Chains A and B, each alone.
Chain A
Amino acid sequence: QVQLVQSGTEVKKPGASVKVSCKASGYSFTGHIMYWVRQAPGQGLEWMGWINPSSGATNYARNFQGRVTMTRDTSITTAYMELSNLKSDDTAVYYCARVRLVGGTSGVRYFDFWGQGTLVPVSS
């Protein structure tokens, strides 16, 4: 069965960086684009960007360009999201999510599987 297992809670100070991992199993890792979505406390969902595990190609949402880096290691079927220069309003739960694409695009048809989420509190 498809599973996305994320790394644990990371407590960070402002200005630091965080790297969250997402271990995929139960399907062809290189066959599906992976999105990263975050959720601030009591707030809604916000997509941050995506990575194509096959090619390594990435695309980042405008709000995060310059601060986010998404990578993958196909040998261990793991995707990573690194966010730098953390601020207090980056406090959130970060999710990886496998996506089914709209044909011929990298757009979201729907997210069919989600990781359990990684809490990143940012506080001095």
Chain B
Amino acid sequence: QSALTQPRSVSGSPGQSVTISCTGTSSDVGGYNYVSWYQQHPGKAPQLMIYDVNKRPSGVPDRFSGSKSGNTASLTISGLQAEDEADYYCCSYAGAYTFAVFGGGTKLTVL
């Protein structure tokens, strides 16, 4: 059982927007602004998409955005494209001794 809770799956049609939630506690997501999101295509390594809740690394399209409210972080993908179909994982800092906690992952299907 993962420390952070994500929906098992979400779906959307090309051009639409989808939001993936990541719910933790005040000891992780709610306590720090260090939530990151990773995209993973089948058979590939995870790739950083969002860090520090809402910052995008260079090269990541601005269709990807992140936010946080209380103990829940969210990743929103607007203007869905076929290549966005992948698994998405959230990760949060959880204090100086826990180091990090992951979500269980969400499978995004582009219909």
Contacts and interface: CB of A to CB of B under 8 A. Distances in A.
Contact of A108 (B46, B47, B100, B104): B100
B75 interface: no
B69 interface: no
B61 interface: no
Contact of B2 (A44, A100, A102): A44
Contacts, number: 69
A121 interface: no
Main SS of the interface on chain B?
loop
A9 interface: no
Interface stretch (A13-21, A74-82, A83-91, A110-118): A110-118
B34 A109 contact: yes
Given A44-B103, A102-B34, A107 B45 contact: no
Band of interface residues on A: 20 to 34
A45 interface: yes
Q: Which of A59, A106, A110, A115 has most B Cβ within 10 Å?
A: A110
Per DSSP, are chain A's interface residues mostly helix, strand or loop, or mixed? strand
A116 B45 contact: yes
A102 B32 contact: yes
Nearest to B92: A108
Given A102-B32, A116-B45, A107 B93 contact: yes
B36 interface: yes
B96 interface: yes
Interface residues of B, number: 25
Contact of A114 (B46, B93, B100, B103): B46
A105 interface: yes
Interface string B75-111: 0000000000000010101111011101111000000
B48 A111 contact: yes
B36 A111 contact: yes
Contacts of A50: 99
Interface string A43-73: 0111100100000000100000000000000
Q: In the complex, which of the residues B51, B99, B104 has the most CB atoms of chain A within 10 Å of its own CB atom?
A: B99
Contacts of A59: 99
8 contacts: A45-B105, A46-B102, A47-B99, A106-B96, A110-B91, A111-B36, A112-B57, A114-B46
